Amino acid sequence: MRRMLSLMFGATPAPRPAGQPPDPPSGRSSPPPASGPASEGVERTWTSTDGLELSARDYAPAAGPARLPVICLHGLTRNSRDFDGVAPAMAAAGRRVLALDVRGRGRSAHDPNPSNYNPAVYAGDVAALMTEAGIARGIFLGTSMGGLIAMTLATLRPDLIAGAILNDIGPEIATEGLTRIGSYVGAAEPAASWAEAAQRSRAVNGVALPNLSDAGWMTFARRTWREIEPGRIVPDYDPAIAQAFAGAPAGSTQSSPDLWPLFMALAMNRPLLLIRGGQSDLLTTGTAGRMQALAPQMRRLDIDGVGHAPTLDEPEARSAILDFLKTAP
């Protein structure tokens, strides 16, 4: 597990030196989408600095006063469809919403160099999208890995972040949860039908989401798997992301990186909301409590009967997010 965190982060990113101005925007600003179903958004693509074509869903805001957009970042094996429920609600509340497919997931290209599957590279991709879309600052909504990306970005480009919502993630990651994730990531065989994909999703995630209905598991499967040909349905990510979970070389003494400076960079003078699954095996109550002590302005919601991670379709999660956005910049 230490190897996974070390490979994901390496050295803690160095903050931008005090007084150094942000990198100037390049390219023309891209307006919010003017057409397309409000519940689906429209696809927006951009090119990473190393030449990969990446994708996001772009949801236009409802009419009203201009507000900062929301940038949605998903978890390790997920994609932009994780936000299919909450993104339209935030757009209806007057926020432009961009839900990203992080490289190697969803409609974004797979990286031929798996070592690039790490939060520092992902943060650079987010910054490139914001430049391309003409977005100077935003509110970030990050689930699990997505929250780690937001923390990383806060050290590299603090000017881009006006506030953040962290979904079941913090600067200390419980070994129990990492072990569980490592047991399945990259290991799934193709499913022959959507019913099988739903059943297998339930087998892996049922403990975390015990109250999800049969219809809910079908929705879960369609958000996280893709059909590459009739009768061949696969998880919608590059299996190479699992390489970070490989065993450490014999005799290595890798230690987990200290992520608390990243959290403090994110928390500095910004509104925060922490959503935690009440039965999470990744974010402990002790870590969540320490986060609150260090960032007393941070709101917190624990959702009973849910593990890692809340889907954000829970009514209490939806309400907490929309309430937070009422007062966020």
Mean pLDDT of all residues in 221-229: 97
Sheet containing strand 70-73, edge to edge, reads: 42-47, 53-59, 97-101, 70-73, 138-143, 161-167, 272-277, 299-303
Describe the chain by its helix, strand, coil percentages, rounded to 5.
Answer: 35, 20, 45
Give the pLDDT band (50/70/90) at residue 32. Answer: very low
Give the pLDDT band (50/70/90) at residue 23. Answer: very low
- DSSP letter string over 271-290? -EEEEEETT-SSS-HHHHHH
Instruction: State pTM to two decimals.
Output: 0.89
Residue whose tokens read 């939060």: 119
Give the Cα separation of 71 and 48 in Å (integer).
Answer: 17
For residue 9, pLDDT over 60 is answered with no
Q: Which of 33-37, 50-54, 256-260, 280-284 comes out lowest in average pLDDT? A: 33-37
List pLDDT tens digits, range 85-107: 999 999 999 999 999 999 999 99
Domain boundaries defined on the chain: 38-186+258-327
Buried b (16+ CB within 10 A) or exposed e, 102-121: bbbbbbbbebeebebbbbbb
pLDDT at 16: 42
3-state secondary structure of 60: coil
Q: Tell whether the torsion through CA atoms of 312, 316, 318 and 321 is positive or negative.
A: negative
Give the Cα separation of 126 and 113 in Å (integer).
Answer: 18
For residue 200, pLDDT over 60 is answered with yes
CATH 1.10.3720.10 corresponds to the domain 38-186+258-327: no
Give the pLDDT band (50/70/90) at residue 19. Answer: very low
Which tokens hold the place of 311? Answer: 């889907």
Give the Cα separation of 263 and 266 in Å (integer).
Answer: 5
For residue 226, pLDDT over 60 is answered with yes
